[in-house]
Amino acid sequence: MKYATVTDLMEMLDRSPVNFLATQYVTERLLAAGFTELDSALPYPQLEAGQGYFVRKNGSALFAFRKGRAPLAEAGFRLVTAHSDSPCFRIKPAPEMKGEGGCIRLNTELYGGAILYTWFDRPLSLAGRVILRGEHALRPQTRLLHIKRPLLVIPHLAIHFNRGVNEGNPLSKQNDMLPVLGFLKEELEHNGLLLRIVAEELGVDQQEILDFDLYLYDTTPACLVGWHEEFIQSGRLDDLSMVHAGLTALLQAEGAEATQVLGVFDNEETGSGTKQGAHSPVLRHVLERVALSDGSDREGFYRALEQSFLVSADNAHGLHPNYVSKQDPTNHPLLGGGPVIKYNANQKYATDAESAAVFAEVCREAGVPCQYFVNHSDVAGGSTLGNILTAQLPLRGVDMGNAIWAMHSVRETGAAIDQDYTTRAFTTFYQLP
Ligand code: ZN
């Protein structure tokens, strides 16, 4: 069974190997739909009801909204948030390492909590942004880079050299995970080789390159898996599947009384503590400016917040058929069972009974099932955006996501139908009077 939302998601995943390119993808979709990009350094223009606008931060976070028909103080904001980043490896400065046997490797640093051994023996390449000299030292230029051909591989050690590999295999991030770029020709000076490759790819002079944020990614495209093609498998389902659901819902929702907001944050995987992350006031500033340019005063903005609701969308752990005992005994979110509402007694999630009830009602109105996740009480869970955001904005809100397997593997697996369910739930959420 093929769903249009899933075919579209697969295209997004293939075009979005890293945070910067995911944000670029969302930007292009918004512009094509008639949204206007605002420059945060300039005053916001007069915002028109029913019109769409967005701002970007750092090229890796994005906040889009469609202005509501009713005054903000009366109708508030309807927010869906997700994140653009996923665990991966960042290329270190001066990365070239001459190896034994004439191989050249790149030095890397782990970003976020990846399952390391899923990165072995894959056709990897490079993506991210490259900073070029500008006319002013404070204003360099940025170019995005997405090398599509496989360029690197992290080869695993043969089992004959480690017979115990299947009984547990501790890995050194510094020594075991370095990708091989190729053979080093004798006459070739290996320093600056990466910059030469990047300069060639971008068609710029190597001397113009000041710095880069480049990451490894798996070039294997997203695909459907299963007897009935019931699963979607790809890198970065966490959390681009939720970015896609939020984006699709925002684009297809009709204008409403409330102002509809999509927030895509960066750096969730490392604790959100950057200017483009959920710990910063970046979203609060956007909402405040929307309210002020709407003619509200601070009082009006605070009233708008009281009328608002947040859906913090990040993937959840589906019941894994090989590891049933890892899950809570009575709450088993299933792949294909619809959006998952996440609870945590110690409030690692923003959800409480009232906000969970609201979201369950939204699902009911959308005609989609929903389910619940709580940790097995002896297993510590992860955290996400909701509770971090509410430190900046005291919003009613729920943490939810689609159930997936192998979270933070280089290839994660989800259910195709869940993408459809969640997109429908978000669309209903945006449009509810
Ligand atoms: Zn996530």
- The 10s digit of each residue's pLDDT in 88-100 is 999 999 999 987 8
Assess if residue 331 is contained within a domain.
Answer: yes
Which domain does 189 fall in, by range? 88-218
Q: What is the CA radius of gyration of the chain?
A: 22
Q: 269: CA distance to ligand 1 center in Å?
A: 7
pLDDT of residue 347: 83
Same domain, 166 and 105: yes
Cα separation, 376 vs 159, in Å, equals: 35
Same domain, 51 and 131: no
pLDDT of residue 140: 97
Assess if residue 230 is contained within a domain.
Answer: no
DSSP bridge partners of 124: 152, 218
Assess if residue 227 is contained within a domain.
Answer: no
**Are the CB atoms for 253 and 260 separated by under 8 Å?**
yes
Better-predicted residue by pLDDT, 303 or 1: 303
Q: 182: CA distance to ligand 1 center in Å?
A: 33
- Order of strands, sheet of 180-183, starting from the edge strand that comes earlier in the sequence: 139-146, 124-136, 209-218, 88-98, 103-111, 180-183
Number of CB atoms found within 10 A of residue 87's CB: 22
**Are the CB atoms for 3 and 44 separated by under 8 Å?**
no
CATH code assigned at 70: 3.40.630.10
pLDDT of residue 1: 59
Query: Is residue 388's pLDDT more than 90?
Result: no
Cα separation, 175 vs 145, in Å, equals: 26
- pLDDT (tens digit per residue) in 166-225: 999 999 999 999 999 998 876 566 678 899 999 999 999 999 999 999 999 999 999 999
In this structure, what is the dihedral angle of CA atoms 290, 31, 29, 210, given to the nearest 10 degrees? -90
In this structure, what is the dihedral angle of CA atoms 322, 328, 329, 334, given to the nearest 10 degrees? -60
Q: What is the mean pLDDT of the chain?
A: 94
Q: 268: CA distance to ligand 1 center in Å?
A: 7
Q: What is the pTM of this model?
A: 0.96
Number of CB atoms found within 10 A of residue 261's CB: 25
Looking at the structure of the chain, the number of domains it has is 2
Name the range with the highest mean pLDDT among 72-86, 322-336, 371-385: 72-86
Same domain, 124 and 203: yes
Same domain, 208 and 276: no
Q: 384: CA distance to ligand 1 center in Å?
A: 7
Assess if residue 180 is contained within a domain.
Answer: yes
DSSP alpha helix (H) spans, 170-329: 193-202, 237-252, 282-293, 298-306
Looking up tokens 């028109």 gives 48
Q: 171: CA distance to ligand 1 center in Å?
A: 24
β-pairing, 77-83 vs 309-313, is: parallel
Nearest to 60 by CA among 89, 23, 28: 23
Same domain, 280 and 412: yes
Assess if residue 225 is contained within a domain.
Answer: no
Q: Which of 218, 248, 263 is the last residue of a domain?
A: 218
Same domain, 214 and 189: yes
pLDDT of residue 189: 62
User: Which residues, in sequence order, are CB contacts of 317 under 8 Å at separation 6+?
Assistant: 327, 333, 373, 403, 404, 405, 407
Q: 83: CA distance to ligand 1 center in Å?
A: 7
Q: 382: CA distance to ligand 1 center in Å?
A: 9
Assess if residue 266 is contained within a domain.
Answer: yes
Same domain, 276 and 128: no
- Give the angle subtended at the CA of 88 by the CAs of 408 and 19, to the nearest 5°: 100
